[in-house]
Structure 1
Amino acid sequence: MSLPISPNQPYRVEFCRSMLSPKYWPSWLAVGMMVLLAYLPHRVRYWMARGLARVIRPFCKKPFRIARANLGACFPDMSEAETEAILKKMMFNFSLVGLSMGVLAVKSRKHLEKHIAIKGLEHIERARDQGKPIVFLVPHLWGIEYAGARLSSWGLPMMGMVKHHKNPVFNWLSVRQRCRFGGTVYHRDAGLRTLVQGLRRGESFFYLPDQDHGPEKSIFADFFATQKATLPVIGRLANCGGATVLPLTIGIDKERGNMTMEVFEALDLGTKLSKEAEASLLNHQLERLIGAHPEQYMWFLKVLHTRPEGAKLLYR
């Protein structure tokens, strides 16, 4: 049972007996499979992911069409063979992460510390020494949930926004997973004010600037070989919350199952920075963070849905 949603209050989901109804037995079976997969050796999940990627690819024609459009716009000189190699690796990473999600639900803090390394920890420690919360600038990478869990397990108070699942079993599991190591979640309808207030309480969070929020408040700025509509709001968020903005990326070693999260130096997003300059800075950082692991980016997202006037629409 999910508790009523109210502004500024954490979103909580309590286990209730109705979740054991027969109509939810398939959901519990899926949860059981997820837990079982979490305790299998990584090498087993690796080979399962290779097979799964080949099986589900024929059913992913639309996501692949979107991914090809994104890659074609961002890298017009990329050959067909190079594009296909990235798409193949993207599908494998999707399958591997999907088969491994149970790790975040059941494995211990020590397990995460062993398998997820943090580079650039000095930037986080500097912000904490200054008494500042952190807004992590991160694109939609497959390992993003692991990065959040690792930071929480390290002792950094993290908050996140969640969408309500219609299935109460998955809703309960999703919230429980994100709060295991001390994280706090809010419903995404809570709004930006809740994030600012969380920052003022010392909580940190991930900001994903690659989302397309439409043309109304977005600014077009260079993004690889094209232009992307970007919402220049992170500077105001950080300034209102007294936070430091640190770019972050995470890469998966598919052979060994280990991950490396890298945190970079703080961005200068002072109040004097114009919206155009901020959008340009954000897109430049996205290029760097995505470029570190291009095959692990979610290229099937419609990140280029909003186009400059006169530009060709990509997803028709």
Structure 2
Amino acid sequence: MAKTKQPERAHGGWQDRLADWAIRALIWLALRLPARTRLRLVSWIVRRLVSPLIGWHKRALANLDHVWPDLDPAERQRIADGAVDNLARAFIENYDVPEFLHRARGMTLSGEGLAALEQARAQGRPVLFVTGHYGTPEGARCALVSRGETIGGLIRPMSNPFFHDHYVQNMHDLSPPVFEQGRRGTMQLIKHLQSGGKAVLLFDLYDSAGTPIDFLGKPAPTLTSAADIALRTDAVMIPFFGIRHADRFGFDAVFEAPIPHGDPLAMMTEATRRLEARIKADPTQWMWVHRRWKPKRQAKRQRKRAAAMMGP
């Protein structure tokens, strides 16, 4: 018998309220502790208690098996554990804005993109930073904010509306302006850039409307939005990365050479190559828990397209 598809749970109910209370309690407890202890505690809770409950390790292992099937099982487990550790640290460090900005002021800034950033500043030209869920992207952003820059950003709405409210407010506190994904937010971001501003976009999330670009050897639907916006606003497009140190506390900000303007798909392919290189250098810093490829869904869409082309 075919499996009956379960109806999707509506968001905003008691389950979301309960989850938000638990998250708020964890944040409150963590903020009572010194920064290093806080990050270690939240990492342990998420890796040992939360991840097994919601399947993050399982999803990370499945993604690793998809792109690197010959990887040693022990190495695969190490990467998955490191990815969940990085995600937990990235989450909680955003909630102590003064400490995070203080730590960001001490980080090292490097890379060819710094010269391009200085030139854009002198010319009054907008800058669009592009990055992925690698290391601490907010850390790299805060490195500039702590030095007097204003760096806008686009944030995806969270499925839990109670969590969404305080998370977005915290992002505003950390580094305004923040625009919510959607037509209105995108237009606000474009206006911010057209006025000579700077902003950051993360491009490594699955989107069914995206064009497949090979990512770690497998096709992954990728929006060309970042390239389209850079072209529309004449913004310098600079890939940047907040790279964690071995102690998982300190980090550096690396600003790579700008991606030349041209075909949007070619620009996003180059951005993908830059992110791939960082992941291969240290795969524990990327967000393997995200459903980046969704191979079954992609295969289903390809079959539908093929059937439509063949006709009745």
Deviations 1:240-260 (A, max 9, x none): 112001111112225262111
Q: Structure 1: give runs of 5+ residues left out of the alignment.
A: 1-23, 311-316
Cα distance in 2 for residues equivalent to 1:245 and 1:134? 6
Please point out which of 186, 190, 197 is paired with 2:191. Answer: 197
Please give the per-residue CA displacement for 1:220-273, whole angstroms capped at 9, x wherever unaligned. Answer: 222222122222232221121120011111122252621111110000122xx2
Judged with a 3 Å threshold, the aligned counterparts in structure 2 of structure 1 residues 283 and 33 are, in CA distance, closer, same or farther, namely same
Structure 1 partner of 2:109: 118
CA spacing shift, 1:235–1:46, aligned 2, 3 Å: closer
Residue 41 (structure 1) shift: 4.8
Whether 1:224 and 2:220 are equivalent positions in the alignment is no
Question: Root-mean-square deviation (CA), in Å?
Answer: 3.0
Q: Partner amino acid for 2:31?
A: V
**Residue identity opposite 2:278 in structure 1:** L
Distance between the aligned counterparts of 1:127 and 1:118, measured in 2?
17
Q: Which residue of 1 aligns with 2:150?
A: 157
Q: Name the amino acid aligned to 1:291.
A: K
Q: Which of 69, 78, 90 in structure 2 is aligned with 1:76?
A: 69
Q: 155-164 vs 199-208, which deviates more?
A: 155-164
Partner residue, 1:212: 206
Q: 1:253 aligns with which of 218, 242, 245?
A: 245
Q: Does 1:58 align with 2:47?
A: no
Per the normalisation by structure 1, the TM-score is 0.75
How far apart are the structure 1 equivalents of 2:63 and 2:187? 32
Q: Deviations over 1:184-216 (max 9, x none)?
A: 1223232432221111112222222212221x4
Report percent identity of matched pairs: 21
Aligned length: 275
SS of the equivalent of 1:36 reads coil
SS for the counterpart of 2:205 is coil
- Please give the TM-score of this superposition, normalised by the length of structure 2: 0.76
| Residues 1-41 of structure 1 deviation map (CA, whole Å, 9 limit, x = unaligned) | xxxxxxxxxxxxxxxxxxxxxxx99887555434323xx15
Residue 255 and residue 182 in structure 1: after superposition, are their counterparts in 2 closer, same or farther (change >3 A)? closer
User: Residue 8 of structure 2 corresponds to which residue in structure 1?
Assistant: none
Q: Is the 8 A contact 1:230 1:283 kept in 2?
A: no
| Contact 2:137 2:242 (8 Å CA) reproduced | yes
Q: Pick closer, same or farther for the CA change 1:46–1:239 going to 2, 3 Å.
A: closer
Q: Secondary structure at the match of 1:222?
A: strand
Among candidates 11, 28, 33, match of residue 29 of structure 2: 33
Q: Partner letter of residue 162 of structure 2?
A: N
Task: Return 5+ residue gaps in structure 2 as ranges.
Answer: 1-19, 304-312
Q: CA deviation at 1:49?
A: 4.6
Q: Distance in 1 between matches of 2:132 and 2:187?
A: 22
Contact 2:30 2:38 in 1 (8 A): no
